[in-house]
């Protein structure tokens, strides 16, 4: 689920699903305020968000249930992570996991991810990750798709040279849409070296619940590794 909104309407869908358990709701009052990023105030030096030195900072947009972000944060304790997700239930799941694991390298934003992208300094992010964004399949809604020429230019600004943009989707039309815009961008290079590269998950890939559902329903995902020139 993509955590952003735009001129044509929200890039994300619903904000809340089933009712939160008491413990989950409590974390919105206690833990989330300590981890929440304020784009207007906190992002001048994103590496300074974490209370200790980090090697680099990654941004995950629309982390859904948080499985991927959680796994990456555990795998890379020397990396700082900023995760954006407006869906309350997904945020609740990740907050519970962060609390249980005492992770100190994750910061969160629970509204429009574009706010974060626009507030970040140039060249401050090593990797942007966008997994299974809402495909907005109807033609009249395509303007709501997170990937656009304008958004790629914004991501190029915040990514350092040689940084990476990872995109995954099980919707072939959205994969083609994204790739077409990447290929005409002056800022990015698709890193595929072989014909099957786009079917190979990213290194260290932990999988997600959404991906498992897509595979069960016969929609093989595509994984695009895109490099900032």
Q: Is 209 annotated as belonging to a binding site? A: yes
Q: Is 115 annotated as belonging to a binding site? A: no
Q: Is 99 annotated as belonging to a binding site? A: no
Q: Is 109 annotated as belonging to a binding site? A: no
- 34 burial level (CB within 10 Å; 0-12, 13-18, 19+): exposed
Q: What are phi and psi of 145, to 5 degrees?
A: -60, 140
Q: Is 157 annotated as belonging to a binding site? A: no
Q: Is 134 annotated as belonging to a binding site? A: yes
110 is known as an active-site residue:
no
Q: Is 93 annotated as belonging to a binding site? A: no
Q: Is 200 annotated as belonging to a binding site? A: no
Widest pairwise Cα distance in the chain = 49
Both tokens assigned to 61: 């947009």
Q: Is 2 annotated as belonging to a binding site? A: no
Other beta carbons less than 10 A from residue 46's beta carbon: 23
Burial 146-169 (b: 16+ CB within 10 A, else e): bbbeebbeebbbbbeeebbbbbbb
Write the Ramachandran bin of 151: left for phi over 0, alpha for psi from -120 to 50, otherwise beta. Answer: alpha
Identify the active-site residue in 134, 149, 172, 187: 134
Other beta carbons less than 10 A from residue 195's beta carbon: 7
Instruction: Specify binding-site residues for S-adenosyl-L-methionine.
Output: 60, 85, 112, 134
Q: Which positions make up the binding site?
A: 60, 85, 112, 134, 138, 170, 208-211
Binding positions for substrate are 138, 170, 208-211
Q: Which residues are catalytic?
A: 134
């Amino acid at each position: 689920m993509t955590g952003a909104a735009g001129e044509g309407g929200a890039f994300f869908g619903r904000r809340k699903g089933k009712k939160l358990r008491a413990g989950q709701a409590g974390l919105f009052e206690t833990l989330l305020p300590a981890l929440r990023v304020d784009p207007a105030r906190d992002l001048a030096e994103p590496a300074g968000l974490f209370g200790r030195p980090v090697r680099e900072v990654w941004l995950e947009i629309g982390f859904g249930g948080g499985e991927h972000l959680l796994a990456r944060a555990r795998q890379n304790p020397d990396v700082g992570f900023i995760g954006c997700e407006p869906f309350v239930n997904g945020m609740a799941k990740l907050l519970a996991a962060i609390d249980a694991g005492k992770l100190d390298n994750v910061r969160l934003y629970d509204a429009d991810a574009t706010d974060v992208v626009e507030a970040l300094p140039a060249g401050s992010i090593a990797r942007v990750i966008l997994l299974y964004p809402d495909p907005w399949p109807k033609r009249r809604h395509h303007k709501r798709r997170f990937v656009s020429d304008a958004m790629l230019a914004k991501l190029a600004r915040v990514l350092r040279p040689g940084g990476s943009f990872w995109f995954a989707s099980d919707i072939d039309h959205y994969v083609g849409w994204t790739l077409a815009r990447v290929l005409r961008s002056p800022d990015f290079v698709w890193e595929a070296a072989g014909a099957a590269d786009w079917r190979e998950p990213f290194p260290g890939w932990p999988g997600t619940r959404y991906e498992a559902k897509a595979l069960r329903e016969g929609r093989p995902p595509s994984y695009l590794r895109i490099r900032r020139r």
